[in-house]
Chains A and B, each alone.
Chain A
Amino acid sequence: MQKVIKFLTTLIFLFVIVVFYFSLNKDPSYQTNSLVGKKLVELNLESFDGDYSLRTKDFKKNNFTLINFWASWCSPCRVEHPILMSLSKSKKLKLVGINFKDKKNNAKKFLNELGNPYNLIAKDEIGKKSVNFGIYGIPESILVNKEMIVIKKFIGPLNTRDYNEILKIIN
């Protein structure tokens, strides 16, 4: 009996050590890996000018679509804008911009000043619809295929490394 108790105590002790070892070495920040491979549904987004609703069929025309969440008040969006302009030159990728909690005039000024990289622009004035995309701050970008399955999610402004990664995926 003594042996069993000793064995169980050692086992529990080792288990705790292993759990602590892996938990303390794990990145505590929010990870989006679990969203990769999931299908986006319930789009229900109004276009920027309010003349049509963005539907799933709009995404089926191209093999890949990058959905970018942006706003004129967001300074990191300004930083990533040249990357989006470069990506817009690729014929294999469609860019959909979702204007997030923004004023229409300010958004227009932003695009007039920096250029419009988007094939389609939608708006989410209150921010509730972006919850369907798992957005928690902007800029964020989601690369989806024509079946609306998430291939990669980019949190924060896109950089040269992301640019190269996107080109590698779509080519």
Chain B
Amino acid sequence: MKIIIFYFIIFLNLSSSYAAKKNIDQNQIYKNLRCLVCQGQSISDSNSDFAQTIKLVVKDLIKQGKSEKQIYTFMADKYGDWIVYKPQLNKQNFILWVLPYVILLGGGLVIFSIIRKKRKKF
């Protein structure tokens, strides 16, 4: 009985995560797309003509079965990386993506060596 319950829970988890993947949140996509004719507004925040058109196109792309990533790639292809609030990793922004991790790692190493030195003293 315990095994059946265990498998049932796993099945529920898997199906819910699959459903979450399938149902793309279009509002989330609108929030991640910049309104090019507005000042500091996303497509979600704006009622401009441009924003309305992009919303329609996003809805169409979702209907066509495109994933969230594919929609961002489509938009970046047409309007450049500027339209996406979170640009995808490429040659131009490689340093910006990697540098925080390098600094974090370097900082960690510095802190680690300081602590080790202090311990040795005592």
Residues of chain B having any CB pair with chain A under 8 Å: 36-37, 49-50, 53-54, 56-57, 60, 77-82, 103, 106, 110, 113-114, 117
Look across to chain B and name the residue whose beta carbon is closest to the beta carbon of A126.
Answer: B56
Q: From residue B71, how far is it (CB to closest CB) to chain A in Å?
A: 12
Judge if A24 is at the interface, Cβ distance under 8 Å: no
Which positions 1-29 of chain A face chain B at CB distance < 8 Å?
1, 4-5, 8, 12
CA gap between A5 and B53 in the complex, in Å? 52
Contacts of A32 in B (CB 8 A): 80
Besides A1-B117, A128-B60, 11 new A-B residue pairs in contact (Cβ under 8 A), listed by A number: A8-B106, A12-B103, A30-B36, A31-B80, A38-B77, A128-B53, A128-B56, A131-B53, A131-B57, A131-B78, A136-B36
**Chain A residue, CB-CB nearest to B103:** A12
Contacts of A132 in B (CB 8 A): 78
Contacts of B53 in A (CB 8 A): 126-128, 130-131
Q: Which residue of A lies closest to B56 (CB)?
A: A128
Given the contacts A136-B36, A136-B50, A137-B50, A5 and B110 also touching, CB distance less than 8 Å: yes
From residue B95, how far is it (CB to closest CB) to chain A in Å? 10
Q: In the complex, which residue of chain A has the Cβ closest to the Cβ of B76?
A: A34
CB contacts under 8 Å to B, within A31-52, are: 31-35, 38
- Contact of A34 with B57 in the complex, beta carbons under 8 Å: no
Q: Is the CB of B78 within 8 A of A4?
A: no
Interface status of A134 (Cβ within 8 A of chain B): yes
Residue in A12, A131, A137 whose Cβ sees the most chain B Cβ within 10 Å: A131
If A4-B110, A5-B110 touch, does A34 touch B60 (CB 8 Å cutoff)? no
Q: How far is the CA of A1 from the CA of B117 in the complex (A)?
A: 10
- A133 and B77 alpha carbons, distance in the complex (Å): 10
CB distance from A98 to the nearest CB of B (A): 14
Q: Which residues of A lie under 8 Å from residue B106 when comparing CB positions?
A: 8
Give the chain A neighbours of B56 by CB distance below 8 A.
Answer: 126, 128
In the complex, A35→B75 CA distance in Å? Answer: 12
User: B50 to nearest A CB, angstroms?
Assistant: 5
A38 to chain B, nearest CB (A): 7
With A1-B113, A4-B110, A137-B37 as contacts: A34 and B54 at CB distance below 8 Å:
no
Within 8 A of B (CB), among A113-128: 126-128
